[in-house]
Amino acid sequence: MAADPTRLKEYECFKDLTDEQREAVSQFTLVEHFQPGHTMFEEGKEATHIFLLSVGEVEVLYSIGEEGPSRVDKVQSGEIIGCSALIEPYIYTSTTRSLTEVEVMVIEAAALRQLMVEDCALGFSIQKDLIRMLLDRIIDLRLGV
Amino acid sequence: MAADPTRLKEYECFKDLTDEQREAVSQFTLVEHFQPGHTMFEEGKEATHIFLLSVGEVEVLYSIGEEGPSRVDKVQSGEIIGCSALIEPYIYTSTTRSLTEVEVMVIEAAALRQLMVEDCALGFSIQKDLIRMLLDRIIDLRLGV
């Protein structure tokens, strides 16, 4: 199901865009639903999509040493995951798996990256909000929230 | 002492810039030295400068609950600190204090922000590298490195 562009407003990164810009992003955004235990993306694989978590909870796993992936974080609805799909070398740095039923808006990263380069003001705006979100995440991690 | 523009190359965020762009940034960058125990910036205060830590180690402190600031992280040379000076509302989210003698390149944030808006390609490039650095920092925090 294609995404309703007004729903992108709920996410910091897309809140400051114009209606036309959100309309453009929605052209390559799909709404998807996953059951618990679904692996949305895997560490080390090509990062092709960014996920806006609308409903539900996911776990973030890393391979540490020779062990298999183990959980290092949980992410709640309202968050953006798979951000490494926006940054070279476009490789997911973690594995992410649904803990509950989830609803996500799935954005084609290559199309978004192209739009961000073609429209530098849009790219700059999305990056700025992403930085704010990452700085907030760093505070939470430092505080052990 | 004004900064040598070639030294900016050592930092991810400025590595991809042209020589002319680094020359422009160096115009509002100073090299400073601090003794151990020097507070470089304080949580809740206006974020006026970004610091590139060339030599030494600093501690990052947060006020948690009603306690005074307590250490939540340490940052080594090669890192960029005070990133919230690039992001509205331009308020430092932590206190940062030198643990050793440190050498820092201190960038005037307002001038850098203006340059990033005037030259969108430069702004886009700096923010992209900043996002990569923050994603790496999140991995380190999640892994407890």
Output the domain CATH number for residue B40.
2.60.120.10
Residue by residue, pLDDT tens for chain B (145 residues) are 678 999 998 888 898 889 999 999 999 999 999 999 999 999 999 999 999 999 999 999 998 777 778 898 899 998 999 999 999 999 999 999 999 999 999 999 999 999 999 999 899 999 999 999 999 989 888 888 6
DSSP output for B51-87: EEEEESEEEEEEE-TTS-EEEEEEEETT-EE-GGGGS
- At B5, list the tokens: 């523009």
Contacts from A26-29 at CB under 8 Å and sequence distance 24+?
A26/A2, A27/A2, A27/A111, A28/A107, A28/A108, A28/A111, A28/A112, A29/A2, A29/A3, A29/A105, A29/A106, A29/A107, A29/A108
Contacts from B62-68 at CB under 8 Å and sequence distance 24+?
B62/A139, B62/A142, B62/A143, B62/B93, B62/B94, B62/B95, B63/B95, B64/A143
Q: Total domain count for chain A?
A: 1
Cross-strand bridge partners of residue A63: A69
Chain A residues 80-99 with CB within 8 Å of chain B? 83-84, 86-88, 93-94
Per residue in B103-117, pLDDT (tens digit) is 999 999 999 999 999
Q: How far apart are CA A72 and CA A70, in angstroms?
A: 6
pLDDT at A142: 85
CB contact under 8 A, B135 and A134: yes
Q: Which of A86, A131, A138 is opposite residue B138, by nearest beta carbon?
A: A138
Q: How far apart are CA B106 and CA A19, in angstroms?
A: 39
CB contact under 8 A, B124 and A123: yes
pLDDT at A37: 97
Q: At A97, which helix (H) or strand (E)?
A: strand A95-98
Q: Is residue B114 a part of any domain in this protein?
A: yes
The complex's ipTM?
0.87
CB contact under 8 A, B87 and A131: yes
Chain B nearest-CA distance from A105, in A, is: 21
All residues of chain B having their beta carbon less than 8 Å from the beta carbon of residue A83 are 131, 135
Range of the domain at B64: 29-118
Amino acid in position B30: L
Contacts from A4-8 at CB under 8 Å and sequence distance 24+?
A7/A54, A7/A105, A8/A52, A8/A105
Alpha helices in chain A (DSSP H): 12-15, 19-26, 109-118, 120-143
Residue by residue, pLDDT tens for chain A (145 residues) are 678 999 998 888 898 889 999 999 999 999 999 999 999 999 999 999 999 999 999 999 998 777 778 898 899 998 999 999 999 999 999 999 999 999 999 999 999 999 999 999 899 999 999 999 999 989 888 888 6
For B90, which DSSP code? Answer: -
Q: How far apart are CA B22 and CA A58, in angstroms?
A: 41
pLDDT at B145: 67
